[in-house]
């Protein structure tokens, strides 16, 4: 249900009064970076989580006490509790914090607090591309010596994780619109990549989505850098209280891309223009037109912050992608295995279109639908997107936080995708594609949940099949 939220600044001074912070769900991609920022600033941090993983192990290896599972005693000694939006109100640690009178704030509130501790926060918003663009901006700024603090929703190989604690007054972070989380952030510079229909279980309609993006822009202090080719984004930015800078392919955009690479190439190159003056040529190392838009946004933000065109071009060329964004896991017997986070029809269309233009003999897509509500509300759009590839395998719908009140199943989607196959388990799907994929094929797993586990199974099966 959509709620007209406001930025909560009532806790802005709390970090000056406490030293010990406990994170419920500390291993999450959004929680771990915040914990690491606080650790770097001298706070004592502890945490708990239900699932092990790379981020959790990194924290543990750095001496952070982490408990597996959620128990009331885990918060002993904490002066502040931070929890994710996925944590239910009856969580034993959250309930214990209430009983003891320990302040407890949602992750987005903590991110907002930190955003106001940096005078030059850049917040990247949009329905699609936030993680990649945040990572691109971070890599450009770090590579050019700006030394920002970065909070990224995925692992950036060049920094070995999804966070970087810098010494400057610049912070780069993702601004997620789900349940209006980004309303808690008050950036100096807001980047809006696109505004699309998503999270309709919360927003209900496009009008509410736009209302939230307008509110986010209204809290921006210096400049708004927005997609000049996207009508919804421009509609949200038309009443912006700060100067609006546009990027895109259109001639009216402030930052404009003019393609210089042939259409047959895998990776794109383009001349970057600013107000009609050529700044540099950018040659990307990640595929797809969607990444040209991401790179344009990153270049515009970096140039706005004073980075030279030469540094922008060299660091964007050196950007090799983010974990789970068209991430190649291996190649065995001539079969390439990759994994991608795409879970919305627009994202799927962009990633699969890029894959189909990469010269593979056949592209196999193993897709895990993410939430019943999104699958039901965008069913025809999903079907159209999945029909792009040669072979589509559709897994069971991942419920996440929902109950199937929509009476929707993967077979409902499968009926609309010609030639597709619905397979419920990771094991059966992995065996099916490994048995049928041939030399020159790409197997691309896709989804916002744990489908990466299926990708790892496929990679391992192919390794064993071909003795590699």
Contact in structure between 27 and 82 (CB atoms under 8 Å):
no
Q: Where in the chain is the domain with CATH 3.40.1190.10?
A: 116-317
What is the token pair recorded at 375?
A: 């699958």
- Superfamily per CATH, domain 327-465: Mur ligase, C-terminal domain (3.90.190.20)
Q: Tell me the CATH architecture of domain 17-105.
A: 3-Layer(aba) Sandwich (3.40)
Return the percentage of the chain with pLDDT > 70, whole number.
100
Number of neighbours of residue 378 by Cβ within 10 angstroms? 19
Residue-wise DSSP of 365-419? EEE--B-HHHHHHTHHHHHHHHTTSSEEEE-PPB-TT---TT---HHHHHTTSTT
Quote the CA–CA distance of 395 and 51 in Å, as a whole number: 22
In this prediction, residues 395-420 reach a mean pLDDT of: 94
Q: Is the pLDDT of residue 52 over 80?
A: no
Residue-level pLDDT at 8? 87
Q: Where in the chain is the domain with CATH 3.90.190.20?
A: 327-465
E-assigned strands of 305-385? 327-332, 335-340, 363-367
Determine the CATH number of domain 116-317.
3.40.1190.10
Q: Where in the chain is the domain with CATH 3.40.50.720?
A: 17-105
Which range, of 2-11, 104-113, 116-125, 328-337, averages the lowest pLDDT? 2-11
Reported as a single tens digit per residue, the pLDDT across 327-350 is 889 999 999 999 998 898 988 998
Residue-level pLDDT at 264? 65
44: Cα separation from own chain's centroid: 28
Which range, of 208-212, 250-254, 285-289, averages the lowest pLDDT? 285-289
Please classify residue 127 by burial: count the beta carbons closer than 10 Å to its beta carbon, then call 0-12 exposed, 13-18 middle and 19+ buried. Answer: buried
Number of neighbours of residue 42 by Cβ within 10 angstroms? 7
| Residues catalogued as catalytic | 130-131, 174
Confidence label for 262 from pLDDT (cuts 50, 70 and 90): confident
Confidence label for 53 from pLDDT (cuts 50, 70 and 90): confident
């Amino acid at each position: 249900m959509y709620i007209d939220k406001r930025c909560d600044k009532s806790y802005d001074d709390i970090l000056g009064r406490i030293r010990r912070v406990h994170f419920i769900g500390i291993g999450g991609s959004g929680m771990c970076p915040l914990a690491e920022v606080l650790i770097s600033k001298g706070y004592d941090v502890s945490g708990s989580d239900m699932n092990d993983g790379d981020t959790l192990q990194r924290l543990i290896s750095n001496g952070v006490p982490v408990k597996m599972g959620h128990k009331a005693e885990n918060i002993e000694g904490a002066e502040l509790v931070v929890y994710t939006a996925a944590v239910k109100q009856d969580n034993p640690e959250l309930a214990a914090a209430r009983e003891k009178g320990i302040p407890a704030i949602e992750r987005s509130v903590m991110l907002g607090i930190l955003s106001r501790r940096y005078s030059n926060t850049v917040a990247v918003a949009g329905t699609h591309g936030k993680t990649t663009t945040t990572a691109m901006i971070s890599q450009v700024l770090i590579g050019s010596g700006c030394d920002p603090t970065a909070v990224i929703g995925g692992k950036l190989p060049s920094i070995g994780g999804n966070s970087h604690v810098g010494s400057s007054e610049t912070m780069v972070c993702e601004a997620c619109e789900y349940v209006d989380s980004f309303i808690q952030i008050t950036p100096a510079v807001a980047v809006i990549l696109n505004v699309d229909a998503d999270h309709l279980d919360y927003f209900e309609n496009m009008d509410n989505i736009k209302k939230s993006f307008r509110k986010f822009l209204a809290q921006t202090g210096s400049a708004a850098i927005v997609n000049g080719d996207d009508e919804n984004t421009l509609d949200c930015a038309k009443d912006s209280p700060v100067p609006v800078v546009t990027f895109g392919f259109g001639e009216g955009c402030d930052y404009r891309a003019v393609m210089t690479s042939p259409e047959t190439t895998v990776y794109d190159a383009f001349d970057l223009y600013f107000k009609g003056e050529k700044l540099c040529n950018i040659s990307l190392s990640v595929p797809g037109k969607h990444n040209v838009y991401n790179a344009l946004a990153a270049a515009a933000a970096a140039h706005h912050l004073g980075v030279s065109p030469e540094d922008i071009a060299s660091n964007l060329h050196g950007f090799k992608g983010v974990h789970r964004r068209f991430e190649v896991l291996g190649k065995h017997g001539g079969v390439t295995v990759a994994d991608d986070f795409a879970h919305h029809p627009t994202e799927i269309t962009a990633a699969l279109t890029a894959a189909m233009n990469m010269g593979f003999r056949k592209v196999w897509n193993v897709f895990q639908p993410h939430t019943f509500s999104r699958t039901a509300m965008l069913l025809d759009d999903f079907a159209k997107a999945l029909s792009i590839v040669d072979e589509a395998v559709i897994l069971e719908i991942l419920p996440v936080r929902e109950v199937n009140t929509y009476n929707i199943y993967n077979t409902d989607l499968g009926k609309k995708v010609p030639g597709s196959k619905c397979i419920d388990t990771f094991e059966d799907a992995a065996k099916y594609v490994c048995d049928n994929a041939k030399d020159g094929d790409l197997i691309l797993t896709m989804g916002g949940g744990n489908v990466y586990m299926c990708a790892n199974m496929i990679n391992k099966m192919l390794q064993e099949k071909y003795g590699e």
